[in-house]
Amino acid sequence: MTKRQLALAVAIAAIGTNAVWMSGVSAAEKQDVHGGGTDAVDTYELDPVDVEGERSEEANSLTSSTGGTGFLGTKDVMEVPFTQTNITNKALAQYGDAVEPLTSALLMSPSVRTSSSTMYNDFSMRGFPMNAYQFKVNGVPGMFSQTNMPSNFVDRMEVISGPVIGVHGSTNSESAGGSVNLVTKRAAYGKERLTYTQTVSTGGALGEIVDIGRRFGKNEAWGLRINAENIQGKTAVKGEKLTTRDFYINLDHAGRRSTTNLFMGYRYTKDEGGQRYFDFSGTGANLYTGSRLPSAPSGKRNYSFPGQHIEVKTWTAVLNHEQQLSDTWKAFFNAGYSRNYGSGYVMTSSSKLFMRNEAGDFYNTLWTYPYGLRNAYTQLGVRGTFHVGDVKNDVVLALDRDWYHAYWGYERNGAYGNAVPSFGNMSGSLSGGVRSVTWNYAPGSVRGAIKSGVTTYSGVSLTDTVEYGKATALLGIHHHSVKATSYAADSGYNRARSTTVSSSANSPTFGIVYRPTDDLSIYANHSESFDKGNVVGSGFMNTGAMLSPAKTKQNEIGVKYRRRGVLAGLSVFQIEQDRTIDVRYTGDPNPTRVMEGKNKFKGVELSVSGQIAPKWTLTGGLMHLTTEQQTNTGYNGKAVAGVADWSGMLAVEYAPDAQLTAFARAIYSGSAPIYTGDARKLNVPSYLTCDLGVTYKTKFGTVPAALSLTAYNLFDKHYWMSRPTYNFGIQGYPRSLVLSMTMDI
C-alpha cells in the first residue's frame, strides 16, 4: 500500500467513525440540534484572521513573536501596544495535559491562571473569570461551550491581555480579562502529512489521534487537514470516566487575489463523576462555620454521586475569506455557526457542593438541566493603507452581527417549572466521601430544553494605525447595540411570555508604540469594553429590568526587549469594572439589584521566553495583583473574591541532541481571599505544582516516531484552586502520567 493510499484509507476510516458516532444520536436530539501544522508560508497573508503556520525559525519554541491581532492582521509582538502571547503547537503538545489541554497550555501567558476541571474550561486573565465561551476560532466568537474542549485541531493560541473588543468586534460573551483566539491547523506546503498518535494515561484512558494533511491543485493552491481523536477510559481520579470523540476538517485555498479558509467539525464529550467545586458562601443550614478552609483532600478522591455526568455534542463551522480589491485595499468576511447540545446534565445544583465546616461536611440539592446553545456570527470589513505625507495610515472598518440562542430546561414527572425543582439531595464529608443521596424524580421523564432567550449583537468598528518614524499610534472606536429577549414557560412546558430589552455602548481603544531601536519597544494603551446589559432575574423587586452595561477601563504601560532570540516584557496596568449589588430597602420583601460601585485591579506582569543557551530554552512569567471592591456595602475596601495575589510559571527545556528532549514546568498560585455567607474572610492557600517530561525521537524501520512520557503534578500535591469572583475551593488534580507514541507514516 502506498503512502497516499494509506492516507486515504485512514481518512475514510475516520469519516466512517464519525458516521457511527452520529448514528447513536436519537431522532429527537437530531431534530433539536441540526436545524496546522507549524510550517511557514510566505506567499500570502490573511489580515483579518491569521491562519498561517508558525515561522520556521520558531518551530521549536513554546511561544512565537508573531501572531494575529484581531482584524488588525498579523503583527510582530514588538509592534503591538498590548501584552500579547502567541502560544505554539509545541506548548500544546508538551503541556496540554489530559485534564484540560487548552487551559493548561494557556499558562504560558503570565496573565493566565487556571481553575479548570474535566467538567469546565475555567481560567482567568488578569483576575477576570473566563471559560470556553470566550474562545474565538480563527477570529470568530461563540463556537464552543463549556466541558472538556479538544485541542487536536489547534495549531496555536493568540492571547491578548486586557479588554480588546476594539480590535476583535462584537461577541456574545465578552470578558474584560482579554481574548484567546484558537488558530486551526492547515495543510503545509510541500509536505504530505499522516501521523498517528496512541496515548495511555493514569487510570487507563486510551486515546487514538489521527492527523492528515495534504495540498493539491495547481501550485498547491488547495489544502486539506483532517484531525480526529477518540479518547475513552478512567482518569487519575478514582471513579471518573472520560469519553471524547471528535472529527475536524480544515480546507483552505490561496488564489492570486484571494484567500479562503473553511473549518468545520463535530465533537462529543461525556464526563462521568467529575465533581470538583466546593462553595463556601452558603447561607442558613449551609453556612460555613469554620475559620479556615479544611485541609485539601487528595486529588484522587471523588465526591460525585452515582450517575453524575455531563454529556455534550457540538457542531462547528467557521469561514474566513479575504479579497484583494487593489494594491492597497482588501475586503474580508468572517462567519461562523455552532450548535451545542447538552443532552445529559445530571449534577449537583450549579455543579457545586456547599461546604459547612472545617471537618469537611458538605451538602447540596441535585438537578438535571438539559440545554442547547446556538450561535451565528458574521463580520464584513475592509482594510486599506494610504499615506499623508510621511505618515502611513492602516485603516480598518468592520461591521458585525452575532445571534445567540439559548435553550434551557428541566422537567420532573412531566411538568416544567419556572423555579428549579429539588430533584433530590446529597451529603457527605471530605474524609468519609458521599454518605447520602436521594432522588425525587425518574431520569427517564426528563425532556429536552426549550427556548429561554435570544440575544442579538450589532457592532461597527473603526481603527487607524498611524505610523510616523519610530512611533506607531492605534486609534479605534467600537460601537455595539444589543437586543435581548427572554422567555418564560408555563406549567405545560411551553413558552408563555417574553420580555425584550435593549442597550448600546461605545468602546474606545488607544495605543502607542515607540521603538528607539529594533530591540526595544515602549508602549501604552487605554482600552474600554462593554458587555450587554444584564436582565434582572427572578427573586428581586426589579425583576425583568435591564441594567446598564458594565463598563471596563484599562490603562497599561510596558516595555518589551528582544535580543538574540530572547524576548522579555514588563508591564504595569490598572483595570476598573462596574459591578452590581443587591440592596434590600426598608419594607421590601425582596432585594433590588442595582449597578453600583467598581472592582479595581492593579497589576504587574513580567515575562521572558527564548533560547538562553545552545541546548537550553526558557519560558516564564510572573504576575502580581492587588484588588479592591469599591461599593456601598460591607465589602467596601475588601479584596475581590478568588483573585490570588501572586502567580507564576517557569518552563525549562534541555535538548542535548536531535533525538532527546527533557522538559519541566513549575506553576505557582498565591493565596486568594474568599468570603462566607456572613461575609467572613477566608483564604485559599497558595500552592506549587511541577510537571516533568521527556521525548525521544526514533524510527520503527523507516517510519519516524516520537515517544513521550509526561508526569503532571509530579509530587502529587494536594491543593485548592480559587476562581475569581467566586467563593470556591476547587479540588486540585492528582499526579497523572501520560505515555504517548506518535508515528509519522
Cell of 740: 504517548
Fold held by 3-744: Maltoporin; Chain A (2.40.170)
- In angstroms, rounded to a whole number, what is the distance separating the alpha carbons of residues 161 and 221? 35
What is the chain's length? 745
Give burial (CB, 10 Å; 0-12/13-18/19+) of 430: buried
| Residue 122 CB contacts under 8 Å (≥ 6 apart), including other chains | 103, 114, 115, 116, 129, 130, 131, 723, 730
Q: Residue 176: which pLDDT band, with cuts at 50, 70 and 90?
A: confident
- pLDDT exceeds cutoff 90 at 538: no
- pLDDT exceeds cutoff 70 at 13: no
Q: What is the pTM of this model?
A: 0.89
- In angstroms, rounded to a whole number, what is the distance separating the alpha carbons of residues 535 and 548? 9
β-partners of residue 335 are 319, 378
3-state helix, strand, coil in the chain (%, to 5): 10, 55, 35
Domain spans of the chain, in order of start: 3-744
Average pLDDT of the chain to the nearest whole number: 86
Q: Pick left, alpha or beta for residue 670 (phi over 0 → left; psi -120 to 50 → alpha; otherwise beta).
A: beta
Q: Residue 417: which pLDDT band, with cuts at 50, 70 and 90?
A: very low
Which of 53-57, 197-201, 234-238 is least confident? 53-57
How confident is the model at residue 443, as a pLDDT? 54
- pLDDT-above-70 percentage for the chain: 87
Which of 337-341, 382-386, 500-504, 668-672 is least confident? 500-504
Looking at this protein, which amino acid is placed at residue 53? G
* Residues 635-654: tens digit of each pLDDT: 899 999 999 999 999 999 99
Q: Are 139 and 157 in contact (CB under 8 A)?
A: no
CA nearest to 506, candidates 178, 130, 165, 172 = 165
How confident is the model at residue 621, as a pLDDT? 96
- pLDDT exceeds cutoff 60 at 449: yes
- In angstroms, rounded to a whole number, what is the distance separating the alpha carbons of residues 17 and 646? 46
Pairing relationship of beta strands 74-76 and 66-68 according to DSSP bridges: antiparallel
Highest mean pLDDT among 63-77, 330-344, 684-698: 684-698
* Residues 109-138: tens digit of each pLDDT: 999 999 988 888 899 999 999 998 899 999
* Residues 237-292: tens digit of each pLDDT: 999 999 999 999 999 999 999 999 999 999 999 999 999 999 999 989 999 999 99
